[in-house]
Amino acid sequence: MDINEVHFIYFSPTRTSKQVGEAIVRGTGLTNVVTTNLTLHTAEVDIPENTLTVIAVPVYGGKVAPLAMERLQGIRASGSPVVLVVVYGNRAYEKALIELDAFASAQGFKVIAGATFVGEHSYSTEQNPIAPGRPDANDLQYAEEFGAKIRTKINAAVDMEHLYPVDVNRIQRPRQPFLPLFKFLRRVIKLRKSGVPLPRVPEVNAELCTHCGVCAVHCPSGAILKGDECNTVAEKCIKCCACVKGCSFKARTYDTPFASLLSDCFVRQKEDRIIL
């Protein structure tokens, strides 16, 4: 069947979902590419039937990032094919892919492929690395190969009726050793019972902050205002750590005890998974 355009839609504060999605798009070989970046704003988009859509979003706490789901509300289709991608920080994506599938189907898409990829966790630091550097070269190569398989599936279909949907619930889960997971859950319970307060926003070292405004520009929720970079509006902060990772002067840090828990318990790198 004739599909000559791909529409790439993503929400990606720290660029991991963006990198994975871009690699999948490259792999399709389609050169007519339209991109909608929902990281900083919403958009109203109606997808034509003969356009392939790739949606890539991050997983926060086992679910699609709530702000991403909110900004996806303006995306609609009339039976056009879509590839759904969730990127998680090496712990678990839980039901995020199923959640995204339910949303896409309700918006009029036909889900023809799905994927779960690992990206460096938002809380990852040099002291507490959590899937550092991912997606790496191997991840991106796998994403491109996935894109090529999607193109092959489309080309093999006579028409849209024969471009069969997939049940993303059947995707193979990555291997998860029991002991690290048990240790993580036990330590989380202990942490919560301890009553130790968790940071609501990143901390700012006023002596290092140059008020360059980069953090304000890259904050997806508008929790940082230009000219007032040493403060963060707690009610708006989604803890994506885009401001932390984007600060060249290391003025921002997010010191949460969950960083060390995740780093200690999920050292073994999980595998990317696809279904189509």
Of 21, 48, 34, residue with least CA distance to 144: 21
155 and 225 fall within a common domain: no
24 and 111 fall within a common domain: yes
CATH number of the domain where residue 215 is located: 3.30.70.20
Within 10 Å of residue 116's Cβ, how many Cβ atoms? 26
163 and 207 fall within a common domain: no
Instruction: Report yes or no on 186 lying in a domain.
Output: no
pLDDT at 250: 94
Q: Which regions in the chain score pLDDT beneath 50?
A: none
Q: Which two tokens stand for residue 197?
A: 């307060």
26 and 138 fall within a common domain: yes
Instruction: Report yes or no on 103 lying in a domain.
Output: yes
51 and 95 fall within a common domain: yes
75 and 18 fall within a common domain: yes
pLDDT digits (tens, 9 = 90+) for 184-219: 999 999 988 888 888 999 999 999 999 999 999 999
pLDDT at 246: 94
Residue 31: alpha-carbon gap to chain centroid: 24
150 and 224 fall within a common domain: no
Residue span of the structural domain in which 240 resides: 203-255
106 and 148 fall within a common domain: yes
pLDDT at 243: 97
- Tell me which residue has tokens 């969950």: 258
241 and 139 fall within a common domain: no
Instruction: Report yes or no on 191 lying in a domain.
Output: no
157 and 20 fall within a common domain: yes
pLDDT at 27: 97
Instruction: Report yes or no on 198 lying in a domain.
Output: no
Helices within the chain (DSSP H only): 16-28, 66-71, 96-106, 137-156, 178-194, 214-218, 242-246, 257-265
Contact between 17 and 10 under an 8 Å Cβ cutoff? The reply is yes
The number of distinct structural domains making up the chain is 2
Question: What torsion, rounded to 10 degrees, do the Cα atoms 102, 122, 21, 108 define?
Answer: 20
Tell me the β-bridge partners of 113: 83
Instruction: Report yes or no on 262 lying in a domain.
Output: no
Instruction: Report yes or no on 154 lying in a domain.
Output: yes
Instruction: Report yes or no on 196 lying in a domain.
Output: no
145 and 79 fall within a common domain: yes
What gap in Å lies between CA 202 and CA 236, rounded to an integer? 12
36 and 128 fall within a common domain: yes
pLDDT at 176: 85
What gap in Å lies between CA 55 and CA 17, rounded to an integer? 9
What gap in Å lies between CA 247 and CA 109, rounded to an integer? 38
Instruction: Report yes or no on 113 lying in a domain.
Output: yes
What gap in Å lies between CA 254 and CA 240, rounded to an integer? 10
Of 108, 38, 101, residue with least CA distance to 70: 38
pLDDT at 1: 77
CATH number of the domain where residue 13 is located: 3.40.50.360
pTM: 0.94
- Identify the burial level of 183 via C-beta atoms within 10 angstroms of its C-beta, where 0-12 means exposed, 13-18 middle and 19 or more buried: middle
